[in-house]
Structures are given as structure tokens and as C-alpha cells.
Amino acid sequence: MRSTDILIIGGSAAGLTAAISARRFNPEAKITLIRKEEKVLIPCGIPYIFGTLDSPEDDLIPDAVLTEHDIDLIVDEVVSIYKGPKTVTTAGGDTISYERMILATGSYPLVPPLPGVNLENVFSAKKDIVYLTKLKQALRQANDLVIIGGGFIGLEFADECRKIDNLNSVSIIELLPHCLLLACDSEVCVRVEEELKKAKVNLLTNRRAKAILGEGKVEQVELENGHKLKADIVILGIGVRPNIDLAKNAGLQVDDRAGIWVDSWMRTSDPNIFAAGDCAQKTCFLTRGPCLLRLASIATMEARVAGANLFSLRQRAAPPIGVFGTVIGDLSVGSAGFTERHAREEGVEIIVGKATALDKHPGTLPGARELTVKLVFMKGSRKLIGGQVYGSDKTGYVANCIGSLVQQGLRADELVTFQVGTHPKLTPSPIAHQIENAAEIALAKLLSS
């Protein structure tokens, strides 16, 4: 039997981060990370394997970081957890004892119950090098690609796969009226869709896939309205489900849809076992109801909390805001917190402020591009609850900034006096800075309402 002080199950974003944090707070502890994959992919980089990168091998998290932090790595699969004796068994026949454990088992791609989903050449964004290599090879021989799902993963696959010369057509089927509608408001979605149409991507929104057709191998995708799309390869991009089987079989409290129950310290129903990342339940920062966000940024935040709290409770996890970002064609898009649409659906009274300016000053500087910020405030408290940004490649840092402001619960009047540093080549003009101006526009509406 092997023994360790801290055992981490899972080696992707949450598992790796949890191991590093555990080492920082427990310098003398024996820390072991066990994962079933020989090599670990960067999940968010998977779509870029098929256009920008040469192969799945270019999208790996290096193991050197484990060695640097004196973390033992075991490549094997944990098949059972025994809470009483605090041991686990592996597929390879090992038994490992632990004092504290962190479950970072992640998530699986959702596979809809469509007829024909098991046909050859139907793929998902599975985090497996061999599987993705097979997908890349299939794409090189394909003529017509259909992507089911118009969220971030589906759109990024479409944007990358359009670069493959042998593909005659790339189509997206999306159930909602717009792509990205769960993360962005309609006006932003329309801009993204325009970029996809420029790239000759065929968009079918407000449509539902009924069946995948073919004799052994995919040949068509049939929609509910009877329309059929030619397809010799299909990619499913409709989201993920938490990987909770190990926790469930161990008798931990779980919800099949939401994940493993955890408290704000990231402890499960067993105080010696913590959980973080896609496998763990989350709570909405505004409604305090269930939250189904699954993002690497959330996973690493939770992992840091779990790693710090193993033997002494040091910090709590904040309810996730949810900060998204992507680049489609020449358009960058970011979103944080609640959209206007989502807030209204929840019955929240809101005021919106919106400002557009160039991302450099003066605007005659080479490379200057427009950047638009939209902020959503609660009408009563004036607190910022969300925002979106789109335009130039500055969206990433602006979306992160909006997420931070939401997390701190800042009000519109506080954002009007938000202090920023500026530089002609790096930022908008301080006169036209989008966050302050969007906040001021919203504040003026609030004070006059």
C-alpha cells in the first residue's frame, strides 16, 4: 500500500492548481496527484488544434510544474474511494491511503440522445489526445462539417475548421435565436454571427437537430423541420456534465446535474475530502440559486481555496461571476456576470450604460480599433451585476476588469470615479474610457428615473 498526506484526483486545471496551492500551504507534506491521462490537454485550447496549432501535442499542460513543486505523479485511474479507512484503489491494482483528498475529476462533453449519435465520425470536445488526433485526421478527409451547438466551443470549432482547405461547408445548428445567447446579449451575438457569415459559415439558429443519419457512418443531419444537411463529420458542442461517478459511488452528497456538493471552504460532505472545478457544485453570486458555469478560471479559483484549506480553514470561495472571452474572425468578445437578457428573465430591475471608443489615443495611432463596453446595474442598489465588451483584442483584460468590479459589488457612482492608468498605445483616452463613461450614462438614467 502506498501512502500520502494529500491525494489529488485529476490532473487538469483544477487538479494541477490544487496541488501547487497545497504545496505552498503545506511545505513538508507528501503530495500525490493521480490522473488517468499520460498527457494533459489545455481544455480551452482544444478547438485551436484543428486550425491554428499543428497537433494535440501543441496543446499540453507541461508536467514540469509538478516536479518543480515536489509533487508525485501517478498515471493510473482511481476506481473506488473508501472514506472510512481513507484509502483509494486504482485500475492498476494499487491501494493508496491519504489524510486529505481533493477531487478534481472535471467534466464530460454532453452527448444528446439523438438517433445516430453513435455513428462513425460523430465527435465531441473530449479531452483525449488519441481521440482528438482521430478527429483531426477525419477532418482532413471530410467535405462537409456540421456542428451542433452555437456556444463558445461550437463557434470556436467553426472558426478554426473553416481554415481547413478540403472542407466545402461548415454549418452550425443552434437551438436558441442566436449563437452565444447564454453569455451575450443579442446585439453582441449579431456581431459575432456577422463574422461567421463573412467566413462562409452556414448558421442555422432557432433550429433543433432531430437525427444524425447514415449507414454506419454519418451522411446527413436532419432538423426538426425536415430539412437535411449534408455532413460527413459532426462535432457536438452543447456543453458538459460534471464527472461525479467516483464521488457518488463513495457515498458523497452529489447532484447529477450540478455536481458534488461543497461548502464555501470547498469541503464535500466528508470533511477530509474537498472538491474543485467542473465536478463541484456552484452557487450564483446574485440569485444564490444553482449555477451551471464550468470554466477553467472558476476551477482554478476553487482549487486554490481547496489547496489552502486542507488542514486549516484559511479562505472561502466566492460564488462565481463567470467571465467569458473568445475571438471569432476579427472580432473579440468578452462577458462577465449577468447579461441584460438574463437579468430581465430573473425579474431584476436594471439600468444599462453603454460606451464606445477607440482602444488607443489619438485614434490616428496605427492599429487603433473601436471597443464597446456595456454595463448592467441593479436599479435599486446601483450595483454592477454584469457587462460585455466587444471589438478589439483588448476585450480580455476589460472583461476581467468588469468581472472583478462585479465581484467587489461596486456601484455605478463608484465606477464613475474609478481610477485608471492610461497610455496612448495601450489604452483608450481617459476622456473616453468606456467603463467610466458607461457607468456615468447608467448613473444619469438612475438619477433621472
Encode pLDDT of 285-339 as tens digits: 999 999 999 999 999 999 999 999 999 999 999 999 999 999 999 999 999 999 9
Judge if 252 and 233 occupy the same domain.
no
SS3 254: strand
pLDDT digits (tens, 9 = 90+) for 96-151: 999 999 999 999 999 999 999 999 999 999 999 999 999 999 999 999 999 999 99
Whether residues 96 and 135 fall in one domain = no
Residue 280 lies in a domain: yes
Provide the percentage of residues in the chain whose pLDDT is more than 90: 98
Res 115: pLDDT: 97
- Where do we find the cell 445516430? 116
pLDDT at 237: 95
Q: Reduce the DSSP state of residue 245 to 3 states and report it.
A: helix
Q: Across the chain, what does the average pLDDT equal?
A: 96
Q: What are the backbone dihedrals phi and psi of residue 206, each rounded to the nearest 5 degrees, phi first?
A: 60, 30
For residue 39, the model assigns a pLDDT of 94
Q: Is there a single domain that holds both residue 368 and residue 400?
A: yes
Contact by Cβ (8 Å): 173, 148: yes
CB-based contact 48:163 (threshold 8 Å) = no
CATH number where 343 lies: 3.30.390.30
Look up residue 151 and give its three cell numbers.
Answer: 456556444
Give the CA diameter of the chain.
Answer: 71
Flag whether 421 is in a domain.
yes
Residue range 35-69, pLDDT digits in tens = 999 999 999 999 999 999 999 999 999 999 999 99
The identity of residue 380, as a single letter, is: G
- The helix/strand/coil state of 100 is strand
Which pLDDT value is given to residue 309?
Answer: 98
For the segment 340-355, the average pLDDT, to the nearest whole number, is 97
Instruction: Note the pLDDT of residue 449.
Output: 75
pLDDT confidence of residue 65:
93
pLDDT tens track for 220-272: 999 999 999 999 999 999 999 999 999 999 999 999 999 999 999 999 999 99
Q: Is residue 320 part of a domain?
A: no
Q: Are residues 167 and 197 in the same domain?
A: yes
Mean pLDDT of 197-206: 96
Per the structure, the complete domain to which residue 428 belongs is given by 332-448
Written as one letter, the residue type at 366 is P
Separation of alpha carbons 445 and 449, rounded Å: 6
Give the integer Cα–Cα distance in Å for 127 and 437: 42
CATH of the domain at 41: 3.50.50.60
Structure confidence by residue, pLDDT tens digits, 362-418: 999 999 999 999 999 999 999 999 999 999 999 999 999 999 999 999 999 999 998
The pLDDT, as a whole number, for residue 193 is 97
Domain count along the chain: 3
